[in-house]
Amino acid sequence: MRTWLTEGLAPLQDGFLRDLGRLLLVTVALLSFLSAAAAWAVNAYFGRTVSGLIGGVGEYDFMLHVRADAKARAERQLAAYLPKAFPGARLKPGLTVAGQTNFFLALPPDLRTRSVMENIDSAFSSIPGYSGHTTLVEPSIVIHGVASGAVRFFLERFERLPGVAVAFADGRDLVVAVERNHKPEEVERSVKALLGQYRLVEVRFPMGYRVPDLRQAGEQVAEALNRKFGGEAGNKAQDVTRSSRADDSQSFLASLTEMRRFLLSYASDIVVKMDPGVNLQRGDEVVVGQRIPPPGSKLGPGSLRVMITGVEGRLAHGVAVQGDTAPPGQSSAEGVFPAGRAFRVKPGDKVGAPVGTATIHNQRYALMATVDESLRLLNQLQLLAKHADRTAARVQLTLDSYQETLDRLAKAQSTLEAAHRGLSGPLDGLGKVRTDEIVLVLNRTVAGIDDLLGKMSGVAEAKAAMDLAAEAAGPGLPQTDLLSQIIGKINPVTALLLKWRAQAQSLALQVGNFGLLAQNAGGVKDFLGDLSKATGSTLTAMQAIDVPKLKADLEEISRRLEGIAQIDVDSVGRQMRYVRDSLPDLKDEELGRSVRLIDRYIGGEVIPGERLQILVPAGFPAKQVSAEVRAAAGEKVSTAVSPAGSLKPDLRGLLFQVLGKVRTTVAGLMAVALVAAVLMLDHALIISALRTGWKSRRLPRWWTAGAAAVYGAGIGATLLSAVFALSGAGLPFIGWPAVAALGAALGLLTAALAGRLAPIDVGELEAGQAMGLSYARMLREIVIPEGRPGLLFLLNRREMIFPQPAWGQAGAKR
């Protein structure tokens, strides 16, 4: 009993397998060739176009851009200039694209030096219409992201690497040109390795932090690092800080930063004193207020929401992002108000756990209060000045009177002494004493003293008013103190003068009333003596004051006070009120939103330019470096460690890579199309014929369909995979298994459609069978010649007993 396998495989005997194998080999070879050829043609076409645009790989060193309108003149000048300036250089005009004409420039080897390469722009700046260049040096490795201060350092090291022809700076990039006979990949590896030996540590200073001398600070940090981690030479951190370029974007960034600083100082600074155990972070949101609903409840639209912008110790600072800090009832010169408790904001705008106690610090309110206070003070000061001036004037008068009184006292003194002397002689001498004269002198002196005292009480009155004004004016004026000192010097004399006046009056009374000095000559004589003595001490006390100097001081004080009095307080007040009223009326939430916007834009950039760049060996432990930097430059600095530089995929290389992809894709598409065609033309026929052969045999039902599917899938997968492999084809996003699967799918489709793609005349086959033709023979003589003309058809011609012209009678039916 024959099994289904031998039955099923029976048609494959008598050379059929050999024919099939040969067909597959030829198919794969031909299809691979065709796919590869199509891909090559596409590649050649695009490659030429691309070369026209950007030059072939490594053909030219630079592309010089010249304005299209200046092309002719530029060309003439270049022709004259080039042989002189760059002997041996080659120039080729390229395409004109978007108003730019390009010239390709190839330099002779001896001119490929760093200084030439880096000064191309200045060398060609005199060419009319010249607008810059693009570096094409190939093969080359392009590095970007190297700190500008480290560029020379790296260029020198790159040039020492084997296989490097020259290394030079090209804009912000570093170009390492590889020698022709060296493998770029090897040089790339060593460049990478060299870069990998270093890290760039960037040190940024917090907002508002100004560093007087960046260079010095940088060197200090580098030294600190070297002390800690540094080894022998070559394993040292070095400062590569460069003062940043003042380019537009950076000044814009600077303005934004200033704006942020202003807005932040203008907005309420909401300070949350964190409860123990709470740790607010920058970016957290809290809600602040006196009457916050209990945790878990929904936040109202009017709630004051605060975004934390920074944390200092246990204090978190933030800005309002929703709601306004209510204007305070009473102004406070410090601008600080309690704001109740702070709670976290939970997702869904719900009140979260309490985090601390909030105060609002508002410079705006502080400023407004200050303006008001200043205006008030200004008025007070002016009042004070007026009082002081009046006091000074009175002191002036007092001093005049003081001098007068001093003179009169001196006169009284001499009179009294004379009288005393007269009484000390023989008694009859008394008669000679002119009592009326004494009385007169005493009276005049007393009158002077009265005048002085009167003036002094005027001073006291003025001073009291002045002191009152000074008290109101707060800090007061220096002149009032001087005045008070002057007055304080004069005041003690008052008591002496009052005492003397009493004595003098009683003497005058006695002398005047009794007129008879003789009668009581002894008592009068004592009295005179006492008064004379008192006059003397009073005089001494009074003369201790340097009246002229006081007068000069007073004059100076008066002049000053007059100056103050002359200030136009009203216009100053107007001005200050104007300033106060023109302060922007921005709500806290608007300020908060603006700050947030700026933050997003500047991306946490703290102060543009204000940063240190330290190149450190990669061996320095990153975490400890950060700690050491903070120790050296301040606890508040932020540090970022980044690679010393990174390789840049060069665009031209990329373009050629894309072209390569196009090539493989074209080959892939071609392969798929060709394999599909071969399946439909050749293998549909084979499947159809096999099926007819199987039908007359005792085979399981599944065999006919199953074996055809297996044949189709197997052939499809094999063909497509083989053609892909041989033609170097590829399809985007498709790997090898997928290619095989695609081939199998095409084969399955062919198997399913075989009956329609390649109908077979069953009668002719049966006739063949009846004649004892082998299956292969029937295929060769009957099935294939009458099928569609494909590869199988062509190959089969050699096998036929009765050949026929290739397409002459093909498929002829009766």
Partner 1 sequence: MKREPVLDVRGLRKRYGEIVALDGVDLVVPAGQTLVVMGPSGCGKSTLVRCLNRLLEPDAGEIWFEGRNLLSLTPPELAAARRRIGFVFQHSNLVARLSARQNIALGLIAAGRPVEEALEAAETALDRVGLAAKADRRPSQLSGGEQQRVGIARALALSPALMLWDEPTAALDPLLVREVLDVMEELVRDGERTMVVVTHELSFALRAADRVILMDSGQIVEDGSPAKVFTAPTSLLGERYRRLLESLPGLPAEGGGRKGKGIRAAGANAGTVPRPAPRPPMAQKSGGGRPVRA
Where in 111-246 does DSSP place strands (E)?
130-135, 140-144, 164-170, 173-178, 198-204, 238-239
Q: How far is the CB of 769 from partner 1 (least distance, A)?
A: 6
Residue 475 or 763 having the CB closest to partner 1: 763
Residue 655 or 773 having the CB closest to partner 1: 773
Q: Distance between CA atoms of 634 and 197, rounded to whole angstroms?
A: 27
Query: Rounded to the nearest 5°, which phi and psi values hold at 188?
Result: -60, -40
Hunting for tokens 């006695």 — which residue is that?
510
Q: How far is the CB of 713 from partner 1 (least distance, A)?
A: 26
Q: Distance between CA atoms of 237 and 114, rounded to whole angstroms?
A: 26
Residue 660 or 759 having the CB closest to partner 1: 759
Residue 649 or 763 having the CB closest to partner 1: 763
Q: Which residues bind partner 1 (CB under 8 A)?
A: 10, 13-14, 696-698, 761, 763-764, 766-775, 777, 781-782, 785-786, 801-802, 804, 809, 812-814
614-639 burial by CB neighbour count: b if 16+ within 10 A, else e? bbbbeebeeeebbebbbebbeeebeb
Give CA angle at 696 (693, 702), nearest 5°: 80
Query: Rounded to the nearest 5°, which phi and psi values hold at 689?
Result: -65, -40
Q: How far is the CB of 719 from partner 1 (least distance, A)?
A: 28
Question: Residue 320: left if φ>0, alpha if ψ -120 to 50, beta else—which one?
Answer: beta
Q: How far is the CB of 95 from partner 1 (least distance, A)?
A: 58
Residue 9 or 502 having the CB closest to partner 1: 9
Q: How far is the CB of 742 from partner 1 (least distance, A)?
A: 36
Residue 45 or 702 having the CB closest to partner 1: 702
Residue 645 or 768 having the CB closest to partner 1: 768
Residue 594 or 774 having the CB closest to partner 1: 774
Q: Distance between CA atoms of 514 and 488, rounded to whole angstroms?
A: 41
Q: How far is the CB of 19 from partner 1 (least distance, A)?
A: 16
Q: What is the DSSP string of 469-532?
A: HHHHTTT--HHHHHHHHHHHHHHHHHHHHHHHHHHHHHHHHHHHHH--TTTTHHHHHHHHHHHH
Q: How far is the CB of 709 from partner 1 (least distance, A)?
A: 22
Q: How far is the CB of 782 from partner 1 (least distance, A)?
A: 5
Residue 623 or 814 having the CB closest to partner 1: 814
Q: How far is CA 655 from the centre of its chain?
A: 33
Q: How far is the CB of 801 from partner 1 (least distance, A)?
A: 5
Q: Distance between CA atoms of 393 and 164, rounded to whole angstroms?
A: 93
Give CA angle at 603 (599, 608), nearest 5°: 95
Q: Distance between CA atoms of 422 and 430, rounded to whole angstroms?
A: 6
Q: Which of 519, 490, 502, 326 has its CA nearest to residue 431?
A: 519
Q: How far is the CB of 772 from partner 1 (least distance, A)?
A: 4
Tokens, residue 424: 């000390």
- Residue pair 105/89 in contact (Cβ under 8 Å)? The answer is yes
Q: How far is the CB of 703 from partner 1 (least distance, A)?
A: 13
Report CA-CA distances (Å) from 775 to 710, 711, 755: 20, 17, 18
Tokens, residue 140: 């080359």
Q: How far is the CB of 682 from partner 1 (least distance, A)?
A: 18
Kindly tell me the sign of the dihedral angle through the C-alpha atoms of 244, 247, 253, 255: positive
Q: How far is the CB of 784 from partner 1 (least distance, A)?
A: 11
CA atoms within 13 A on the CB side of 343: 22
Residue 613 or 796 having the CB closest to partner 1: 796
Query: Rounded to the nearest 5°, which phi and psi values hold at 320?
Result: -75, 130
Residue 329 or 772 having the CB closest to partner 1: 772
Q: How far is the CB of 20 from partner 1 (least distance, A)?
A: 17
Residue 80 or 812 having the CB closest to partner 1: 812
- Residue pair 796/16 in contact (Cβ under 8 Å)? The answer is no
Tokens, residue 704: 């006919």
Q: Distance between CA atoms of 494 and 490, rounded to whole angstroms?
A: 7
Q: How far is the CB of 771 from partner 1 (least distance, A)?
A: 3
Report CA-CA distances (Å) from 73 to 77, 172, 257: 6, 31, 47
Residue 183 or 698 having the CB closest to partner 1: 698
The CB density around residue 440, as the number of other CB atoms within 10 Å, is: 15
Residue 28 or 792 having the CB closest to partner 1: 792
Residue 291 or 814 having the CB closest to partner 1: 814
Residue 104 or 775 having the CB closest to partner 1: 775
Q: Distance between CA atoms of 140 and 650, rounded to whole angstroms?
A: 9
Q: How far is the CB of 802 from partner 1 (least distance, A)?
A: 5
Tokens, residue 391: 């006091």
What is the four-CA torsion angle of 758, 762, 766, 769, rounded to 10 degrees?
10
